[in-house]
Amino acid sequence: ATTSIDLKEEILRLKKERNAVILAHNYQVGEIQDIADYVGDSLGLAYKAQETDCDVIAFCGVHFMAETAKILNPDKTVVLPDKDAGCSLEQSCPADQLEAFLKENAEKNYYVIAYINCSAGVKALCDVICTSGNAVKIVNNAPEDRPILFVPDANLGAWVMEQTGRKMDLWQGSCYVHVEFTRDSINKIKEEYPDALVVAHPECTTAVRLLADEVCSTEKMVDYCKNAPVKNIIVVTESGMLHRLQKEAPDKNLIAGPTDKCACNDCRYMKMNTMEKLRNCLRDLAPTVEMPEKVRARAEAPILRMLEQSK
Ligand code: 13P
Ligand code: SF4
């Protein structure tokens, strides 16, 4: 809210000069969401990246999201405000470890499904990608005659197994933000708002998910809150989501899900992006996302399969 009008104008001017599109995830700070051309979840952002005819994509999110945009647009310049905006899920599954695991278990002939929160190197080893918005659909589409390996989020994987009835072997990764919500912390806030509905992201633990009235991706939370029959809604995900929800469902009282330590929970990676850094990346056309063409081409196939299957 304290950003100068000059900085906003500079961003809009540079965007025009560069013929750029600004894509932002639902967890970005409010000012970035407000200046973006599109705000959404990982799936919506992947579709927008695929569709754009701009020369430059300024991706305000975390690295794997910008990387996905680059995989789909090898000839475009993809810049991100902070190249160190990582993700604990991505870090929990290094490509060389997955490769070694698949080699050791070659006789299983796994059908590998990767949650989009992973590196291009991991995507290149997989059969299909999914996001929290289409994971149930993608798993339902998996061949019946092969065992499934789901990487890297064990919590999302457990939820999808319940939803689909398909058994899967789960890589033991997790999101450091969503595992901070506990049964105690959510029960406490429910006591304060006994009539509230609870919506939670599937990266939460099973114990927290069981307390939720709805489990869904960040984008689906928008519709859920808009259409909810009550005023009070407890939103168990990263706190940036509240800005988007307040804009889209202004008549609702949206309450951030607390952890045992805090009233709400930020992703430090998502919050590395600032308006200054967004200006700088449009001005300098750096930092950019780059990767070897061989990895890119191998990572593109499972993403395209996902986009095709989740239409
Ligand atoms: P969504 O695709 O639901 O926006 O989730 C992305 C993410 O990083 C959740 O932590
Ligand atoms: Fe990764 Fe979790 Fe941050 Fe999402 S909230 S980007 S899963 S660390």
- What is the rounded distance in angstroms from the CA atom of residue 36 to the CA atom of residue 244? 12
User: Phi, psi (5° rounding) for residue 69?
Assistant: -60, -40
b/e sequence 204-231, b meaning 16+ C-beta within 10 Å? bbeebbebbeebbbbbbbbebbeebeee
- Alpha-carbon Rg for the chain in angstroms: 19
Q: What is the residue with the minimal CA distance to atom 8 of ligand 1?
A: 117
Per-residue confidence band for 81, with pLDDT thresholds at 50, 70 and 90: very high
Residues 6+ positions from 188 with CB-CB distance below 8 Å: 258
> What is the domain partition of the chain in residue ranges?
5-85+270-290, 89-176+297-309, 178-256
Domains 5-85+270-290 and 89-176+297-309 agree in fold: yes
Q: What is the residue with the minimal CA distance to atom 2 of ligand 2?
A: 175
- What is the rounded distance in angstroms from the CA atom of residue 287 to the CA atom of residue 295? 20
Q: What proportion of the chain, given as a percentage, has pLDDT over 90?
A: 98
Query: Which class does domain 89-176+297-309 fall in?
Result: alpha beta
Query: Is the model's pLDDT at 1 over the cut of 90?
Result: no
Helices 241-248 & 218-227, crossing angle to 10 degrees? 40
Across residues 222-229, what is the average pLDDT? 98
3-state secondary structure of 294: helix
Q: What is the pLDDT of residues 21-44, one digit of tens each?
A: 999 999 999 999 999 999 999 999
- What is the rounded distance in angstroms from the CA atom of residue 244 to the CA atom of residue 212? 20
Question: Which architecture does CATH list for 5-85+270-290?
Answer: 3-Layer(aba) Sandwich (3.40)
Query: Is the model's pLDDT at 128 over the cut of 70?
Result: yes
Query: Is the model's pLDDT at 267 over the cut of 80?
Result: yes
Per-residue confidence band for 213, with pLDDT thresholds at 50, 70 and 90: very high
pLDDT of residue 43: 95
Question: Which architecture does CATH list for 178-256?
Answer: 3-Layer(aba) Sandwich (3.40)
- The ligand minimizing its distance to the Cα of 87 is 2
Q: Which of 234, 243, 240 is nearest to 189 (CA)?
A: 234
> Residue 39 in contact with residue 26, Cβ under 8 Å?
yes
Query: Is the model's pLDDT at 2 over the cut of 60?
Result: no
pLDDT of residue 5: 87
ipTM of the complex: 0.98
Test site for ligand 1: of 42, 59, 235, most ligand atoms within 8 A of the Cβ: 42
pLDDT of residue 87: 98
Kindly state if the Cβ of 181 falls inside 6 Å of ligand 2.
no
Beta strands in 7-165 (DSSP E): 20-25, 38-40, 56-60, 77-79, 111-115, 128-130, 148-151
pLDDT of residue 3: 67
Across residues 245-250, what is the average pLDDT? 98
Kindly state if the Cβ of 156 falls inside 6 Å of ligand 2.
no
Residue 153 CA: which ligand 2 atom is closest?
Answer: 7
Residue with tokens 């202004």: 250
